[in-house]
Structure 1
Amino acid sequence: MMARLNTLAALAASLTAVSGQYFQRLGTCPTLGCVLPPDQQDFLPGQYFDLRFEVHAPVNGSEAFNNGVPDEKFTVTIAKEGGAAEDVAKFFKLDEPKLEKWTFKWFEDLYAEDAKNSTVVNVASKIYRRVALYEPGKYTVTLNYYNGQKTTAEWVVRPLATEKKAKNIILFIGDGMTTNMITAARLLGHKTINGKYQSNLQLDKFPVIGHQMTHSIDTFITDSANSASALYSGHKSTVNAMGVYADSSPDIYDDPKVETIVELLKRVWGSAWGAVSTAFMADATPTALTAHTRSRGSYGPLVDQALNSVTNYTWTNHGGPDVYFGGGAEQFIAGSGSYLGKDYYKEFAKANYTVSWNKTALAAIPNEEKALGIFCRSNLPVWIDRNILPNNIKNLTNDPSGAKSAATDLPGLKEMTLKAIDVLHQRGGDKGFFLMSEAASIDKQMHALDYDRALGDLLELDDTVRATVAHLKSIGELESTLILVTADHGHGFDVFGGVDTQYLHDQKTDRERRKAVGVYQNSGLSNYQVEAPGVSYSTGPNFPVNWDPRYAIAAGFGATPDHRENYRLSPQPRTPATNTPGFSSADYFANAKDAPDGFVVNGTLPTSESQGVHSLTDVAVYAMGPCQDTFGGTYSNIDVFYKMANCLGLARPDAGLGGKPCAAKKH
C-alpha cells in the first residue's frame, strides 16, 4: 500500500511539472482521469451537451502507470450544491452507455518530439449523449477510478432568463480585429483638421463598448475555430475545435458536443437564422455556428452539418440556415472537395433553397425563400482588389460554377448582409432572427502582413454596419434588434509612425531606408484623405481618397516571419515569406519579390511559419439596441454567448418545448 501511495505521489509531482507546457496529453485533463466538460465550465439552463469520461493508462513515459491497463470499472456521480451525490446515469435518466477503448500517442516535450519518442496511452471511456441541466446553481461531477483516485469538475448553471428582450440579433465579427486596427482604419477613412476628426466610424457611434478575453480552454492564444465556438456556445474549446470538448478518441466527430445559439434558437423559438462571410463558408467563423468536430479542416463534412445537422447520432437539429452567403464553391461543386463527392448546390436546392452565384442573382432572390449564395471559390477577393485594383481579380479562376474563369460579378459584405436581413426578416416574422456577418479578410490579410487590404475590409465592415443601422430603421426593426460588433481574437498590429515612401524608395541600404520612418513629432499627418493629381477613388465618403499616398502610416506586427517592408500599398496581395531553393520546405525566408525597394525586417516566429499569428490582446465588443448595457465591462468570450442568450430568453427550464411548462423534467 505504501509503495502504491509513493507511486501516486510521484505521478502527481510529474503532472505538476508538465501542466504548464504546451505539449499536453489532453489539454483539459491534467490527471489520468478526465471529465469533459472539465472543471470551471458554465452552462445555460436547458442547453444540450454530451458528457464524456476517460481513464488513461500511459504505457511509457514519465506518467507510466498500472502497466498500461486503464481502470474499466470507474464510477461517476453528480451532485447539485446542497444535495446528495447521485449516479450520473440515474441523474440524467439514461441507460448506462457501453465502455469504449482506444489507444493514442503524444509527445511529452520538444526533446521527445525531436527524438520521435512518443508516449503511448491506453484509454477506457464512456459518453452520455445529449444531456442538460435545467436548475441554476453549482454542480460537482466526480470521477472515481484506480481504487481511490478522484477527478472532480465544478460546474455552474447560469441563472434563468426566459423573457425575450430582443426580437433579433445581428452579430458582426471582424475576424482578428483589434482596437488598434479600428484606430488605424479611422485615420485612413476620415479626415482630421488640427487633430479633430471631421467624421467618424459608425462604430464610434455605438453607445456601449466592452472588452472580451479570448483565451481558449487550454492555451492562451486562440484560433478562429474555438474562439467562434465560445462566442456561439458559451463553452471554451481547444484550438481547431468547434462545438465540442476535444477528447482523445480516434474519431474526430464523436467528441462531446455542446449546443450552439442557432441550434437553441431554432429549438426554443423556431426563429430564422443565417450566416454571411467574405470567407469560404466552411471556414471556422461561419461554420462554427453548426459544426461539431475537433478538426476545423474537415470542410466538406462541415458543409453537410450546416445543411443537415450532425448525422452520426441523434443531436439537436438546427433546421438548416435560412440564409448562407459567402465563398467556398469547392465544397459545393461535386467531386472538388465536397462531402462524399456530392453536388451540394443540388443538395441545398432539394431542401428548397434558391441558389445564386453572383451579385445580380443575389439581388433577385425572393425574400420569402431560403437562400444559398456562393459567389466564388475560396475566399471573396478583398475590398481593395474589388474596388481599387480590379485587374487583380480578372485573371482568377474562381468562378463558383466550376468554370475556369474569374468571378467578377461579386457582392461585398454590405450587399450580402442587407439581402440576408431582408430574407431573415421575412422568414422569421414575429419569431425574429439571428444573423452572423463576418468580415473575414481583416484576419486573412493581417496574417499576410497586408495591412492596407486588411484595413480596407475593416472599413467595408464599418460601412456595412452603417448601412445595416439605416436599413433596420427603414423596415421598422431597429428598436427590436440588438446589434453587436466584435472580433474572435486579435493580432499584434499597431501604427507607430509615419513614413515618406518616396524617400524610402530612393535610398540604397536598409539602414538608410529606415530613416524614412518618422516617429513622434516626425509622424506628420494622414495623407489618405488628400487628393493627388490623377488619384481619386469614388468609393464613398468613409473610405480613403488616396490608398497609396507618399506619406503613409508606418505599421507593424509583433509576431512575424522574416519579411521586407516598404509601407506601400502592394499592387498584388502580399506573400511576405517564401521557401528558398536548397533549404527545407519547412523553412521560410523574406520574399525578395515582396516590397523589393523596402528593407528586411527580422522575424520573431519559428522559421517554419510563413505568416503572422494571433495575439493575446482583448478585443472590443460594440453594442446597440435591447440589452446593450449588459455588454459593458471586461469579460470572457463565453459571456458574449450568455448575454445574447439571456437577451433572447433562451435560459429556460423548459428549453425545447417552446416555453411550455415542463413539470416532467426533474433536472
Structure 2
Amino acid sequence: MGRLTTLAAVAASLSAAAAQTFQRLGACPDLGCVLPPDQSDFLPGQYFDLRLEVHAPVNGSEAFNGGVPDDKFSVTIAKEGGEAKGVAEFFAIDEPKLETWDFKWYEDLFAQDAGTPSVVNVASRIYRKIALYEPGNYAVTLTYYDGQTTTANWVVRPLATKKKAKNVILFIGDGMTTNMITAARLLGHKSINGKYQSLLQMDQFPILGHQMTHSIDSFITDSANSASALYTGHKSTVNAMGVYVDSSPNFFDDPKVETLVEILKRTWDSAWGAVSTAAISDATPIALTGHSRSRYAYGSLVDQGLNSVTNYSWTNHGGPDVWFGGGAEQFNPGSGSYEGKDYYEAFANAGYDISLNKTSLLELGNSSKALGIFCQSHFPVWLDRNVFTDNLNTFKNDPHGTTSPALDLPGLKEMTLKAIDILHTRGGDKGFFLMSEGASIDKQMHALDYDRALGDLLELDDTVRATVAHLKAIGELESTLILVTADHGHGFDVYGGVDTQYLSSKPSDREKRRAVGTYEMSGLSQYTVPVDGVSYGTGPNFPVNWDPRYTLAQGFSANPDRRENFKVHKSPRKVVSSTPGFAKSDMFVDAKDSPDGFVVNGTLSVTESSGVHSLTDVAVFAMGPCQEMFSGVYGNVDVFYKMASCLGLARPDGKTPADPESGCGSKH
C-alpha cells in the first residue's frame, strides 16, 4: 500500500511539473515510458521502433525504489475490440535483450544554478523495424512496479493504395509566416489606392490551409523536429529528426520512424530529391533521411543520406537522385567530414555526377544522379547574391575547401528547375518527390535582418512561379501536387512606416521614435518606386528600390536587445555582441549595428543572441491533384498523411507494387 501511495504522489508531482522548463524525458510523464507515446499516428505499413523504459530516480523530488528500476516489466498491444497480446507475439519477432543505463537531468533552474542534477537509472527494451497494417485504434500497455501501468493509444490511419498524384513538390519557406508573406508582397508588388497590381505566385494557388506546428514536448518547435513531423507523420523533440527521443546516451539508437521518401522508394521506386539554400546537412533537407536525436551530427547524417541509417538495419532509400545545396565542409576530408572520408568521391563512386558551381550545374545531364554542393555552410542570401554583390568577396566559402569566396553560385530557382528535369527523367512513369527549401527566410529572421529574410522569401516565390511554368512546359503540371508551406514561424510583423531620414537626424532615442508613423501616418511602400529613375534591375516581382527613405516599421515579439534604424543593412546584420568585463554569454547591443537608430529592449534572456521561433500557425498553399485535402486547419503531422494518401503509400499488407514479395511485422 505504501508503494502505491508513493507512486500516486509521484504521478501527481509529475503532472504538476509538466509545463516546467525542464523535463525528465519529454514524451514520458510517468516512470514507465512507451515510445512512440500516447496519441501517436501511423501510416499503414510504415516501419517504426518501439522503445520501453522504466525509470528509477535516485534522488530529487522523484526518488523512488532506491534507484532500482523494474527489469521484469511487461508490455501488451491490442487492436480495439481484439485480444491483448505480448508485443513479441503480436509482431511475431524475438524478444529483445534488456538494456540498462543511467542519465541526469535538472528539475528546474534552481537545481541548475546549484549544479545538483537528478540521477535516473533505467531498464529498457526496444523492438526494431515493426509495422501495423490494419487501420484502427491500438492500445500499448506497459506494466511495471507491481501493477503500475502506462498506456499509449495509437491510431493507424486509413488505407490509401492508389496514386492520385504522379509527382509531389514540397516548397518549404523555413520560418515563413503569413505576416512575412504579406510584407514580401508589399516589397515586391506595386499597389495603387490599396489594390495590388500583381500578386505573389503562392497568392494564386487555389487552396489555402494552416498547420499547427507544436512539437511533442514543447509548444515552440525548431526546424529539425518540425521537418520530421512533415516527413514522418510523427512529432518529435527539439533538435531531433526521424526518431522519438529516448534517455539513452547514444544519439543514434533512439526509436526510429520511416520517412516519406523511404516509404516512397520501397513502395513505388520513385525518384526523389532535395534542394536547399542551406547546407544540405541542415535540418530541413537532411530530415528526409536523417534518424538522430541531434541535428548537429552533420557528418553522420550526410552518410545516412547516401547509405541509409548508420549502424542499423533499416529501409534503404537508395540515396537521393538529386541533392543540391551548401555545406561543403561535410564533404571535404580536410574540413572535418564524417570519419575523414571524401564524400565527393563517395558520391561519385555511387554513380553521381558532381557539380560545384552554377556553370557546371547547368551543364549536368538529366539521366544520372546528381550531387551539387556550391559553397561551404549556407548560401549567401538573395540580397547579397543580387544587390550587394561586393559582400560575396568577404565570404571564405569555396566548395573545394579553400578560403576563397564562392562566386559562381546558383540560386534556388536554378537548382530547383534542374532538379525537376533530373527527377522527371529518372522517375519516368514512377514519378518523383522534391523538397525545395528557401532556408534563409528563417536564418535572417533570427538575425533580425528583415530585408534579407524577405528577399529570400521573394526568391522562393519566384522559384514557385518558375516551377509552375516549367511543369506546364514539360507536360507535368496536371499530374503534380505542389505545396508551399513552412516548418514553423517567427513573431514578426509590420506595424507602420518610418521616415528614416528624420530618424537619423535626431539625437535622442525618444525623438527618433517620432519617425515611426502608425495608421494614417504609416504611408505607402516605396519599394516599387525607382530612385531618380534607377532600379536595381533584379526583375519583376522583386523591389526596384531596397533602401527608400520611407520604409516599413517592422519587428519581432521575441528578440534580444537591439538598435533599430529600419534601413536596409548593406552588409549582413549582427545585432548583439559580448562586452569586456562581462561573461561571454551576456549579450549587449552591438555598437556597430544601426548606430543612428534607437535601442529596443529585448524580451529574451540576455544570453540569447538572436530572435527565436514563435507559436504561430503557418500557411499551406496547395495546387494540383489532391489540393482539396489541404484546406482547413490541421497539425503538421497531417501534411505527411495527406501527401502519403495522395501518393498511395498506405499499404494493407507487407507487399508493395515495387517489391511484391516484401513483408515485415504483423498483419494486424
* TM-score normalised by structure 1 residue count: 0.99
Please give the per-residue CA displacement for 1:214-234, whole angstroms capped at 9, x wherever unaligned. Answer: 000000000000000000000
The CA deviation string for residues 360-388 of structure 1, in whole angstroms up to 9 with x for no partner, is 00001110010000000010010000000
What is the SS of the residue equivalent to 1:371?
strand
Alignment correspondent of 2:277: 278
Change (3 A) 1:39 1:416: same
Deviations 1:581-628 (A, max 9, x none): 110011001111000000000000000000000000000000000000
The superposition leaves residues 253-309 of structure 1 with CA deviations (integer Å, 9 ceiling, x where unpaired) of 000000000000001000000000000011000000000000000111010000000
Contact kept, 8 Å, 1:527 with 1:552, in 2: the verdict is yes
Tell whether 2:39 aligns with 1:40: yes
Q: Which residue in the other structure is 1:583 paired with?
A: 582
SS of the residue aligned with 2:579? coil
Matches within 5 A, 1:528-539: 528-533=527-532, 535-539=534-538
CA distance in 2, matches of 1:395, 1:101: 51
In structure 2, C-alpha distance between the alignment counterparts of 1:215 and 1:468, rounded to whole Å: 30
| Residue identity in the other structure for 1:478 | L
Q: How does 1:481-630 map to 2 (within 5 A)?
A: 481-533=480-532, 535-630=534-629
CA contact under 8 A between 1:141 and 1:153: conserved in structure 2? yes
Deviation at 1:571, TM superposition (A): 1.1
Partner amino acid, structure 2, of 1:379:
H
Q: How does 1:231-630 map to 2 (within 5 A)?
A: 231-533=230-532, 535-630=534-629
Corresponding position: 1:642 with 2:661: no
In 2: Cα distance, 1:572 partner to 1:656 partner? 55
Q: Report if aligned partners of 1:45, 1:136 keep a CA contact under 8 Å in 2.
A: yes
Q: Which residue of 1 aligns with 2:183?
A: 184
Q: Distance in 2 between matches of 1:185 and 1:159?
A: 39
Separation (CA, whole Å) in 1 of partners of 2:202 and 2:654: 34
Contact 1:267 1:656 in 2 (8 A): no
CA distance in 2, matches of 1:317, 1:654: 19
- 3-state SS of 1:335 partner: helix
What are the Cα deviations for residues 489-534 of structure 1, in whole angstroms up to 9, with x where unaligned?
0000000000001111111111111101110000001100111126
- Once the two structures are TM-superposed, the CA of residue 398 in structure 1 deviates from its matched residue by 0.6
**Aligned amino acid, residue 440 of structure 2:** S
**Deviation at 1:656?**
5.3
| Paired amino acid for 1:172 | F
Mapped pair 1:159 → 2:182: no
**C-alpha distance in structure 2 between counterparts of 1:638 and 1:66, whole Å:** 38
1:97 equivalent in structure 2: 96
SS in structure 1 of the partner of residue 75 of structure 2: strand
Tell me the secondary structure at the aligned position of residue 344 of structure 2: helix
Report which stretch shifted further, 209-218 or 6-15. 6-15
Separation in 2 of the partners of 1:325 and 1:292?
A: 20
Structure 1 segment 43-192 matched on structure 2, within 5 A: 43-192=42-191
SS in 2 for 1:14: helix
Runs of 4 or more, structure 1, over 3 Å off, are: 659-665
TM-superposed CA distance for 1:404, in Å, is 2.0
Q: Contact 1:654 / 1:661 at 8 angstroms: preserved in 2?
A: no
Partner SS for 1:211: strand
Asked whether the equivalents of residues 358 and 375 of structure 1 are also in contact (C-alpha less than 8 Å), the reply is: yes
CA distance in 2, matches of 1:99, 1:662: 29
Offset from partner CA, 1:557-593 (integer Å, 9 cap, x none): 0000001000000011000111111100110011110
User: How far apart are the structure 2 equivalents of 1:389 and 1:14?
Assistant: 56
- Percent identity of paired positions between Structure 1 and Structure 2: 74
**CA offset at residue 17 of structure 1?**
2.1
Does the CA contact (< 8 Å) of 2:655 and 2:662 recur in 1? no
Which amino acid letter does the alignment assign opposite residue 315 of structure 1? W
Which amino acid letter does the alignment assign opposite residue 536 of structure 1?
S
Look up the SS of the partner of 1:243 in the other structure. Answer: coil
CA distance in 1, matches of 2:452, 2:51: 44
**Cross-structure match for 2:23:** 24
Is the contact between residue 499 and residue 553 of structure 1 (CA under 8 Å) also seen in structure 2?
yes
Task: Give the aligned residue type for 1:607.
Answer: V
Alpha-carbon distance, 1:396 to partner: 1.7
Query: C-alpha separation between the residues in 2 aligned to 1:557 and 1:595?
Result: 16
**Tell me, what secondary structure is at the counterpart of 1:479?**
helix
Contact between 1:47 and 1:655, CA under 8 Å: does it hold in 2? no
Q: Distance in 1 between matches of 2:503 and 2:192?
A: 27
* Displacement after TM superposition at 1:337 (Å): 2.1
Query: 2:424 and 2:81 mapped to 1: Cα distance?
Result: 46
Structure 1 residues 186-205: aligned runs within 5 Å: 186-205=185-204
CA distance in structure 2 between the partners assigned to 1:575 and 1:588 by the alignment: 11
**2:329 is aligned with what amino acid?**
E
For 1:372, what is the secondary structure of its paired residue?
strand
TM-score, normalization: structure 2? 0.99
Distance (Å, rounded) in 2 between the aligned partners of 1:487 and 1:657: 31
Deviation, structure 1 residue 7: 1.5
Cα distance in 2 between the residues matched to 1:402 and 1:656: 45
**Alignment partner of 1:515: what SS?**
helix
- Contact 1:489 1:617 (8 Å CA) reproduced: yes
Tell me if the contact between 1:243 and 1:259 (Cα under 8 Å) persists in the aligned partners.
yes
The whole-number CA distance in structure 2 between the counterparts of 1:344 and 1:247 is 30
The one-letter amino acid paired with 1:611 is: S
Larger displacement relative to structure 2 (78-87 or 529-538): 529-538
Shift of 1:549: 0.4
Q: In angstroms, what is the RMSD of aligned CA positions?
A: 1.1
Mapped to 2, the partners of 1:550 and 1:239 lie a distance apart of 41
Q: Distance in 2 between matches of 1:212 and 1:165?
A: 22
Unaligned stretches of 5+ residues in structure 1: none
AA partner of residue 666 (structure 1): K
Looking at structure 1, the residues matched to 570 and 667 of structure 2 have their Cα atoms a distance apart, in angstroms, of 64
Amino acid across the alignment from 1:117: T
Task: Report Cα offsets for 1:62-85 as digits up to 9, x if no partner.
Answer: 111110000001000000000010
For 1:145-179, what per-residue CA distance to the aligned partner results, in whole angstroms no more than 9, with x for missing partners?
01110000000000001110000000000000000
2:213 is aligned to 214
Counterpart amino acid of residue 240 in structure 1: N
Distance, in Å, in 1 between the alignment partners of 2:89 and 2:440 is 49
Tell me by how many angstroms 1:657 deviates. Answer: 2.6
Aligned-partner residue type, residue 303 of structure 1: V
How many angstroms apart in 2 are the aligned matches of 1:571 and 1:182? 22
- TM superposition shift of 1:655: 4.8
Q: Name the SS of the counterpart of 2:124 in structure 1.
A: strand
Q: How many residues align?
A: 666
Shift of 1:536: 1.2
- Opposite residue 413 of structure 2, the aligned amino acid is K
| 2:652 equivalent in structure 1 | 653
CA deviation string 1:456-506 (max 9, x = no partner):
000000000000000000000000000000000000000000000111111
Instruction: Give ranges in structure 2 of 5+ residues lacking alignment.
Output: none
Q: Which amino acid aligns with 1:298?
A: A
Shift of 1:394: 1.5
Q: Could you list the per-position Cα deviations for residues 626-660 of structure 1 after superposition, in whole angstroms to 9, with x for gaps in the alignment?
A: 00000000000000000000000001113553274
One-letter code of the match for 2:354? V
Q: Do the aligned partners of 2:100 and 2:124 also contact (CA within 8 Å) in 1?
A: yes
Corresponding position of 1:666: 667
Amino acid paired to 1:46 = G
Deviation track 1:394-448 (CA, whole Å, cap 9, x = no partner) reads 1321110112211001000000000000000000000000000000000000000
Farther-moved stretch of structure 1 (647-656 vs 232-241) = 647-656
Q: Which amino acid aligns with 2:281?
A: A
Residue 654 of structure 2 contacts residue 663 of structure 2 at CA under 8 Å; is this kept in 1?
no
Equivalent AA in structure 1 for residue 52 of structure 2: F
